[in-house]
Amino acid sequence: MRIGVYICHCGLNIASVINMDALHKKVEEMGDVALVKDIQFMCSDFGQEQLIEDIRENNIDRILVAACTPKLHEPTFKRVLEKAGINPYLLEIANIREQCSWVHMHNQSMATQKAFDLIKMGVAKLKLLQPLQIRTYKANKDVLVIGGGVAGIEAALTLADAGTHVHMVEKEPTIGGKMALLNEVFPTNDCSICVLAPKMTDVQNHPNIEMRTYAEITDISGSVGDFTVKGIQRSRYVIVDRCKGCIDQCSNVCPVEIPNPFDSGLGKVKAISMAIPQAVPQSAYINNEFCVGCGLCKQACPADAIDYEMKEEEFSFTVGAVIVATGYQGFDAKRKEEYGYSVYPDVLTNMELERLLNASGPTRGKVVVPSTGEMPKKVAFIQCVGSRDETVGNPYCSRVCCMSSMKNAQMIKERYPDCDVTIHYIDVRASGEMYEEYYVRSQSMGINFIRGKVAEVQPDPQGQMQLRYEDTLECAIREDPYDLVILATGMEASTTSDPIAKMLNLSKRPDRFFSIAHPKMRPVDAHINGVFIAGCASGPKEIQTSIAQGSAAAARSTRLLAKGELKNDPFSAHVDPEKCIGCRICEDTCNFNTIKVIEGKAVVDEISCQTCGSCSASCPTDAITMPHSTDEQIIAQIRAALEVKDEFPLIIAFLCNWCSYGSADLAGTSRIQYPTNVRIIKLMCAGRVDPDFVLEALQVGADGVLVTGCRLDECHYILGNHDAKHRMENLKEVLDEMGLDPARLKLQWISAAEGDKFAKTIEDFVDELTELGPVGSELPEVNE
């Protein structure tokens, strides 16, 4: 084993603080190092060429680069190693710029010692690294799109146009989703179905799209590149290929009339009907719950399309990726009893008003007061019904309600200019392209805006509806009569998405919408590899955002499957079957459903493994290892850091790769100064921190241990930091029982944008440990 250490000066960024001559001499004295070189700029062409030349001339087989953060140039140096003929994973980077010279500019002596310790830690780990190989696996290039709303439609068409075979599954008899039921769409007031219908037809006619409507998925198994999908095609009792869409002939003879679910129950429809006039497929269906089997529709059908013997059919196919576009459901206004919905016929929801305004709705576009059948003279819109409301468990804003109410208020005002229209709002949220202009237009049309909550809707002595509300701008409580009240109900997570969440092991946020991998950097990626989320399945959003996410999800799945093969992450967990006892703890711990116990032994799906390491930390027999953060490698770093204690107190800090390590880097780029007393070990996730690491650090001389990760609700590995929190809090109780102050173990959750918080955490912890004094010798020896 011949290790080469390269110390970058980075101009004066490092060399102006760290004594490079002293550091070079210290590293030369290390027995395991075959070559030490100083380079002005390691990332320069000269630095890279020098590295290749030295590797070839000096038979160097492992490289440590002491320079800037690995987040900047680790890929660069890996490519250099490959070019030189060395396995790229036999590389270690010591961060002596962001986490040393830039944060210790006023203590050059200790900064130099810390830089040496970081290099020692890197060499200790480097000695234990093994060459890793990336393996490739065949991947199915087909994609499943769950949901035929506007997001699913856009995803399917984007994929199909790129040559990908798409399976679309929609639970309703037609695709189109909620958008197909709207009258017009803001901010341009385009006819909703006019702009959507051509896309719906394109889905049906596209040779690369296999569309299933009135169907549901019953099971999804497998993993990225090879999902097996099973489902049931429900019986329409109408043969789609024969039906001509001449709905009047069959529905006119049907004796059964039921509330139309696609008109929010306002209109009536026969037991055999078409979902909407523009339905795709353009085919009738029979609602078997209400059909009496009289046979009249079969007799009337000129195409012989009715089949009462039609059975449910099972289907199955395989895909490489899944796009979840299951949409949302509207808030049930009955839950806000104070507004009298379903008690007073003249209280409607915004979606019901959409159907009244729609030319294909129950009143063919006429808006009338249900109790009188007359034109409305005074209309009130009540905002935030089921949104921004802790009492019903929905503290979030539904984003579209303000604009939707303004749009519908404009429609009423245009059709009935003399109608008095008022919008009762908490805050008007009109942030977006043309939205503010839309708000101003609403005001210019004479629509009234009153800021304040509506307390209740109740009848006055004359039987007319009366609103009791606050006007915060005039500091008054008022009561006014209205003959039509519209409730702007918000969006809730669709309950039909719950089975999909279980099948794919997807996580949900506290608001019950699907979680995404990262709210900024991966806005359409689920935590499960190969699964993408688009549209309102991940939270309330406007139509244009849903369309954009449909395209984004399609692009992400195309990028994933374009080559027809997938590569494993060489850092994925590995199980030693000799040590595994089949306890299933790892199976329960894995947040990505990538570990299964088969025949008494844990098996890791390497393609789907996210390499967080929580399973390894939870394994009671140490049967699971992470190739680039094994227990031995981490313990070797701890011991190297504590080999010589030149200052008190000395802290071993475990930082997660994504957030807290980023915050330490940010402290450096921001030149935020903090004590030199900390030695950082980078792990993929705080969940990788095994209690044994903490005990080892305290045993060999650390005065304190800091465990940091992403903020608790923002972990890149769903619940990795929660796992760490649970383990470390339990460990604090153990430390207390052993006679050590639990304060020697500190937990902190820091985002990548909080460099100042990281620096303050180090300062505070140093002060706390100084008061406690040096760690005692009460800990028993830790088994290696």
**314-341, pLDDT tens digit by residue?**
999 999 999 999 999 999 999 999 999 9
The answer to whether the CB of 95 falls within 8 A of the CB of 65 is no
Distance CA 782, CA 780 (A): 6
Residue at which a domain ends, from 492, 523, 544? 492
Threshold 0.95, pTM exceeds: no
Q: Is residue 223 part of a domain?
A: yes
Percentage of the chain with pLDDT > 70? 99
The answer to whether the CB of 679 falls within 8 A of the CB of 118 is yes
Distance CA 729, CA 727 (A): 6
Residues 212 and 227 reside in one and the same domain = yes
If you ran DSSP here, which 8-state letter would residue 688 be given?
Answer: G
Distance CA 774, CA 413 (A): 77
Q: Is residue 730 part of a domain?
A: yes
Please list the residues that pair with 651 across neighbouring strands: 678, 704
The amino acid that residue 181 corresponds to is: L
498-511 core/surface letters (b: 16 or more CB in 10 A; e: else): eebbebbbbbeeee
Mean pLDDT over residues 116-133, rounded? Answer: 97
Distance CA 396, CA 390 (A): 9
Band (784; pLDDT cuts 50, 70, 90) = very low
Mean pLDDT over residues 402-412, rounded? Answer: 97
Mean pLDDT over residues 748-765, rounded? Answer: 96
Q: Is residue 272 part of a domain?
A: yes
Q: Give the CATH number, domain containing residue 251.
A: 3.50.50.60
Residues 262 and 193 reside in one and the same domain = yes
pLDDT digits (tens, 9 = 90+) for 335-349: 999 999 999 999 999
Could you give the C-alpha distances from 614 to 129, 606, 718, 720, in angstroms and in order? 20, 15, 11, 6
CA angle 37, 38, 41 (to 5 degrees): 125
- 396: three-class secondary structure by DSSP: coil
Q: Is residue 436 part of a domain?
A: yes
Nearest of 549, 417, 550, 402 to residue 486 by alpha carbon: 402
Spatial CB neighbours of 393, under 8 Å, sequence gap ≥ 6: none
Residues 345 and 480 reside in one and the same domain = yes
The answer to whether the CB of 212 falls within 8 A of the CB of 498 is no
pLDDT digits (tens, 9 = 90+) for 25-60: 999 999 889 999 999 999 999 999 999 999 999 999
- 318 φ/ψ angles, rounded to the nearest 5 degrees: -120, 145
Residues 654 and 733 reside in one and the same domain = yes
Distance CA 403, CA 543 (A): 12
pLDDT digits (tens, 9 = 90+) for 553-606: 999 999 999 999 998 889 999 999 999 999 999 999 998 889 999 999 999 998
Mean pLDDT over residues 57-78, rounded? Answer: 95
Residues 575 and 657 reside in one and the same domain = no
Give residue 65's pLDDT. 98
Mean pLDDT over residues 726-733, rounded? Answer: 97
Nearest of 110, 111, 42, 46 to residue 77 by alpha carbon: 42
The amino acid that residue 34 corresponds to is: A
Could you give the C-alpha distances from 575 to 1, 528, 588, 605, in angstroms and in order? 27, 20, 15, 11
Spatial CB neighbours of 284, under 8 Å, sequence gap ≥ 6: 236, 238, 243, 245, 247, 250, 251, 272, 273, 274, 305
More confident residue, 567 or 540: 540
Residue at which a domain ends, from 561, 579, 594? 561
pLDDT digits (tens, 9 = 90+) for 150-178: 999 999 999 999 999 999 999 999 999 99
Give the Cβ contact number of residue 767 at 10 Å: 11
E strand intervals along 253-298: 257-259, 268-270, 272-273, 285-286
Residue at which a domain ends, from 561, 580, 610? 561
Q: Is residue 540 part of a domain?
A: yes
The answer to whether the CB of 335 falls within 8 A of the CB of 490 is no
Q: Is residue 339 part of a domain?
A: yes
Q: What is the CA radius of gyration of the chain?
A: 32
Spatial CB neighbours of 706, under 8 Å, sequence gap ≥ 6: 651, 652, 653, 654, 678, 746, 748, 761, 762, 765
The answer to whether the CB of 355 falls within 8 A of the CB of 181 is yes
The answer to whether the CB of 327 falls within 8 A of the CB of 514 is no
Give residue 780's pLDDT. 53
Residues 288 and 195 reside in one and the same domain = yes
For the chain, the first-to-last Cα distance in angstroms comes to 23
Q: Is residue 202 part of a domain?
A: yes
pLDDT digits (tens, 9 = 90+) for 648-675: 999 999 999 989 999 999 999 999 999 9
Nearest of 629, 557, 344 to residue 458 by alpha carbon: 344
Q: Give the CATH number, domain containing residue 679.
A: 3.40.50
Residues 149 and 101 reside in one and the same domain = no
Residues 476 and 401 reside in one and the same domain = yes
The amino acid that residue 328 corresponds to is: Y
Residues 167 and 285 reside in one and the same domain = yes
Q: Is residue 186 part of a domain?
A: yes
Nearest of 614, 607, 622 to residue 591 by alpha carbon: 614
Dihedral, CA atoms, 373, 375, 377, 378, nearest 10 degrees?
A: 60
Distinct helix (H) and strand (E) counts, the chain:
20, 38
Residue 612's domain comprises 568-624
Band (433; pLDDT cuts 50, 70, 90) = confident
Residues 530 and 657 reside in one and the same domain = no
Nearest of 203, 352, 224 to residue 280 by alpha carbon: 203
Nearest of 374, 447, 443, 449 to residue 412 by alpha carbon: 447
Dihedral, CA atoms, 465, 466, 469, 475, nearest 10 degrees?
A: 150
Distance CA 394, CA 479 (A): 27
If you ran DSSP here, which 8-state letter would residue 408 be given?
Answer: H
* Beta-strand pair 601-604/595-598: antiparallel
pLDDT digits (tens, 9 = 90+) for 80-100: 999 999 999 999 999 999 999
Give the Cβ contact number of residue 249 at 10 Å: 14
Band (638; pLDDT cuts 50, 70, 90) = very high
- The per-residue pLDDT of the chain, averaged, comes to 95
Which phi-psi region, left, alpha or beta, contains residue 306 (left: φ > 0; alpha: ψ -120 to 50)? beta
- 643 φ/ψ angles, rounded to the nearest 5 degrees: -60, -40
Least confident of 186-190, 631-635, 671-675: 186-190
pLDDT digits (tens, 9 = 90+) for 254-307: 999 999 999 988 999 999 999 999 999 999 999 999 999 999 999 999 999 999
Q: What would you measure as the largest C-alpha separation in the chain, in angstroms?
A: 100
Residues 635 and 764 reside in one and the same domain = yes
pLDDT for 432 beyond 90: no
Q: Give the CATH number, domain containing residue 580.
A: 3.30.70.20
Give the Cβ contact number of residue 21 at 10 Å: 11
What is the tally of structural domains in the chain? 5
Residues 655 and 722 reside in one and the same domain = yes
pLDDT digits (tens, 9 = 90+) for 445-499: 999 999 999 999 998 877 789 999 999 999 999 999 999 999 999 999 999 899 9
If you ran DSSP here, which 8-state letter would residue 98 be given?
Answer: I
The answer to whether the CB of 696 falls within 8 A of the CB of 637 is no
Give residue 782's pLDDT. 46
Give the Cβ contact number of residue 437 at 10 Å: 11
Please list the residues that pair with 221 across neighbouring strands: 228
